[in-house]
Amino acid sequence: DIQLTQSPSFLSASVGDRVTITCRASQGIRSSLAWYQQKPGKAPKLLIYAASTLQSGVPSRFSGSASGTEFTLTISGLQPEDIATYFCQQLDSFPITFGQGTRLETK
Amino acid sequence: EVQLLESGGGLLQPGGSLRLSCTASGVTFSDYGMLWVRQAPGKGLEWVSGISGSGANTHYPDSMEGRFTISRDNSKNTVYLQMNSLRVEDTAVYYCAKLCYSSGYRAGVDYWGQGTLVTVSS
C-alpha cells in the first residue's frame, strides 16, 4: 500500500501569511494526487487535482506542486475563510489513501 | 450542476447490515468511477470502496473485503454500498464521491455527497 505522510499535523498562521503543507508518498504515484479542504460538519472540497491543477472556482492563492514523491500545497496570503483541515489523497493505485490531515488555525 | 444525494444511514447493532444509496444528477453517470469514503467522528478520511463507470471493476481495502460490497445501477444513476457484519468501529459519516480524471488517470474527487451517518452501537 502507498503511504502518504502529511506534515505538519497542526499549523498556526496569521492572515496574509504564506502557508505550506507537504505530503510525501512512500513510492511513486505519478501526478495522481489531490488536495482537499474540509470545514467542520461539511464534505471535503477539492482544491487541487493531478498534483498541480487548480479546481474550477478555487481562489488562485491556492497552488500545488510536485517534486518526485513530495507534493506541496501552498496558500499565498492566508485568508480567514481558509481556516480548515487539509488532506492529501493519492489515487494512483488501490487502495486509495489519504494523508492524516493538517489542521490550520489563525494566530 | 452535479449533485450527489446519499441515503440509508442510521443506528444499528453490531453484526447488523445496512445498504447506502447515492443518486447522482447533472452528470453522465456511467462515464465516471465512484468511491465511498468514510470519516469516523473526529478522525481523518478513509477510503471504503471504488467502482468503475461500467460497474465491471470494484476495489476494497483489505480491512473491508468480504464485508462491504459496492455496486451501481447506471439506469438509475445510483451507486450502492452494502455493509454486512457491521462493527462499532464502522461508525462514521459515509460519503459517496465522484472521480475526476486527467490524462486518462484518476486525478481527484470533484464532487462529494453530503454524507450519511452510520452508527453501530449496542
Condensed to tens digits (0 to 9), the pLDDT of residues B62-113 reads 988 899 999 999 999 999 999 999 999 999 999 999 999 999 899 999 999 9
Question: What was the pLDDT predicted at B65?
Answer: 83
Distance from CA of B44 to the nearest CA of A (A): 6
The mean per-residue pLDDT over the stretch A85-98 comes to 97
Cell numbers 454500498 correspond to what residue?
B81
Q: Which residues of A68-88 are buried (b: 16+ CB within 10 A; e: fewer)?
A: ebebbbbbeebeeebebbbbb
Which residues numbered 39-98 in B keep a CB inside 8 Å of some CB on A? 44-47, 50, 59-62, 95
Non-local (6+) Cβ contacts of A56 within 8 A are: none
Question: What was the pLDDT predicted at B115?
Answer: 97
pLDDT band (50, 70, 90) for residue A1: very high
Cell numbers 481556516 correspond to what residue?
A83
User: Across the interface, do A43 and B114 touch by the CB < 8 Å criterion?
Assistant: yes
Distance from CA of B111 to the nearest CA of A (A): 8
